[in-house]
Amino acid sequence: MKATEARLTAALDRPPADIRLYLLHGPDEAVAQAFVARLAKAMGAEAERVDLDGPTLRNDPARLADEAAALSLFGGPRFVRVTSAGEESVEAVAALLAADQAGNPTVVLAPTVKATGKLVKAAIESDRALAFACYPPGARDAAAIVAELARGAGLRLAPTAVQRIIRGSDGDRAVIAREVEKLALYLDAAPDRPMDADDAAIEAIGAEIAEGEIGEIVLAVTAGQVEAVIDGLRRMSGPDASPIPILRALGRRLVTLAELRAAVDAGEGADQAMKRHRVFWREEATTAAALRRWTLPMLASAQAAARRAEREVIAAGPAGRVVADNFLLRLARAAR
C-alpha cells in the first residue's frame, strides 16, 4: 500500500501484525534513517537488528523471508533492516510478501529506485507492505510537515516559530522531527494537553540553527578559509546540532558557483554573472574570490563529494558530526 506520512509514522510507532514490510524509497536518506530510528525505538532497546543489503539479497533472494521468520537468539524482539536496495531485491521482497509467516518487521531503504519501478510496485500492490517516497520537501511542504508533527506532539506553533524551525533545519525532516520533540519535551506538551509554542520557546531550547552561521561556514569552505571554518564549526558544536543543513547549503553553493563559473568560461564578466544570478552584495567579494579558485571539474568533484559525505553522515549515526566536520575541513584545505 502507498502510505501517507501519518499512516507510516503510526505504523512504525506501533508496528501492526499485518504489515511485514516498510519500503522507504526516494533520495532523502536522512528522513529514511529517521523512520528506521522510529521503528527501532518502538521495538525496544533490547531488540535485535539484522542488517542486510541489496547485493546480499540479489545473491540469496530467500534470505530476507528466512530472517523475517527467524526467532531472536535470546527470544526478544527482532527486526530486519535492508540498505542500498535496488531492483535486484524484487525477488527477495516478493518472497517475503508471499511467505506464510514473517514475525519480524522489515524496513527496506531503496534511495535510487524509481517510483514506477518493480520494487515500489510490488510494495504498493501488497496489503502486507507500506511504501513511502522520501523526497526533500519544498517550502510549502516543509510548513505542512512542521504543522503535522507539532499537532502530533501536542504543540500549537505560532507562524513565526514554524518558519524558524524550517530555516533552522534547512527543510530536513529528521532535524524538524527532533526539534519538535525537544520543544514538546520542554513545554511538557502532549496530544491530550496541547501547549502554545512561540519564538521565546524556540530560543529557550536553542532549536534554531542560525541561518547566518551556516552561510558563513559555507562561504568560508568555498573560499578556503580554514580558520574561519574551524571557528564556525566550533560555534555550532552543540550536542543536537545536525550537520545535514550545512552540507545541503554547501551543495547549493557549489551549484551556484558552477553556474557562475560556466558563464565566466563562456566569456561573461564575473560582475555581470553575479548580478544576473542575484548574488547578495555582501557575498560578492567572497564569490568572486571563489570563482578564481574553482574550475568546473573541481566544482563537479566537490558536488559529488558533498553528496557522498551526506550519505556517510547519515550512516554514521551519532558520529556523523565528526564525519561532516572532517569533510568540510578537507574541502576548505583543498580550496586554499
Do 199 and 226 belong to one domain?
no
Do 143 and 97 belong to one domain?
no
Instruction: Check residue 207 and give its pLDDT.
Output: 45
> What band does 208 get if pLDDT is binned at 50, 70 and 90?
very low
34-58 average pLDDT score: 92
Helix (H) or strand (E) holding 133: strand 129-133
Distance CA 162, CA 167 (A): 9
- Which residues are CB-neighbours of 291 under 8 A, at least 6 positions away? 257, 260, 261, 264, 270
Do 25 and 106 belong to one domain?
yes
Helix (H) or strand (E) holding 197: strand 195-197
Give the chain's largest Cα–Cα span: 69
> What band does 102 get if pLDDT is binned at 50, 70 and 90?
confident
Instruction: Check residue 318 and give its pLDDT.
Output: 74
Do 253 and 276 belong to one domain?
yes
> What band does 120 get if pLDDT is binned at 50, 70 and 90?
very high
Say if residue 180 is exposed, middle or buried (CB neighbours under 10 Å; 0-12, 13-18, 19+): buried
Portion of the chain with pLDDT greater than 70, in percent? 93
- Of the residues 186, 205, 224, which one is the last residue of a structural domain? 205
30-38 average pLDDT score: 85
In one-letter notation, the amino acid at residue 24 is L
pLDDT at 19 over 90: yes
Do 258 and 287 belong to one domain?
yes
Do 67 and 52 belong to one domain?
yes
CATH for 281? 1.20.272.10
CATH for 65? 3.40.50.300
Distance CA 16, CA 314 (A): 27
What is the DSSP secondary-structure string of 29-72?
HHHHHHHHHHHHHHH-TT-EEEEEEHHHHHH-TTHHHHHHHSPP
The whole-angstrom distance between residue 48's C-alpha and the CA centroid of its chain comes to: 24
**Over the stretch 74-87, which tens digit does the pLDDT of each residue have?**
778 999 999 989 99
Distance CA 323, CA 292 (A): 28
Do 279 and 318 belong to one domain?
yes
Question: SS3 for 256?
Answer: helix
Cell of 256: 551556484
This prediction has a pTM of 0.59
- Of the residues 83, 115, 133, which one is the last residue of a structural domain? 133
108-133 average pLDDT score: 95
- In this structure, of 33-37, 205-209, 220-224, the range with the lowest mean pLDDT score is 205-209
pLDDT at 160 over 80: yes
Residue 218 near residue 250 (C-beta atoms within 8 A): yes
DSSP class of residue 159?
A: H
Distance CA 170, CA 157 (A): 18
Q: Which residues on neighbouring strands pair with residue 51, listed in sequence order?
A: 81
The residue with cell 537468539 is: 73
Instruction: Check residue 238 and give its pLDDT.
Output: 62
Sign of the dihedral through C-alpha 312, 313, 314, 320: positive
> What band does 242 get if pLDDT is binned at 50, 70 and 90?
confident
pLDDT at 185 over 80: yes
Portion of the chain with pLDDT greater than 90, in percent? 44
The residue with cell 527486526 is: 79
> What band does 16 get if pLDDT is binned at 50, 70 and 90?
very high
149-170 average pLDDT score: 84
The residue with cell 506520512 is: 5
Question: SS3 for 179?
Answer: helix
Which of the listed ranges 127-131, 152-156, 264-268 does the model predict with the highest average pLDDT?
A: 127-131
| Residue numbers of the domain that contains 80 | 5-133
Instruction: Check residue 91 and give its pLDDT.
Output: 97
146-150 average pLDDT score: 87
Question: SS3 for 253?
Answer: helix
The whole-angstrom distance between residue 56's C-alpha and the CA centroid of its chain comes to: 25
Residue 26 near residue 117 (C-beta atoms within 8 A): no
Do 144 and 231 belong to one domain?
no
Tally the domains of the chain: 3
The residue with cell 502510505 is: 3
Do 188 and 222 belong to one domain?
no
Do 119 and 14 belong to one domain?
yes
Do 13 and 101 belong to one domain?
yes
What's the whole-number average pLDDT of the chain? 87
Do 124 and 71 belong to one domain?
yes
> What band does 206 get if pLDDT is binned at 50, 70 and 90?
low
131 vs 102: which has the higher pLDDT: 131
Helix (H) or strand (E) holding 21: strand 21-25
**Over the stretch 298-329, which tens digit does the pLDDT of each residue have?**
999 999 899 888 888 877 777 888 999 999 99
- Which residues are CB-neighbours of 292 under 8 A, at least 6 positions away? none
DSSP class of residue 208?
A: P
- Of the residues 205, 221, 253, which one is the last residue of a structural domain? 205
Question: SS3 for 83?
Answer: strand
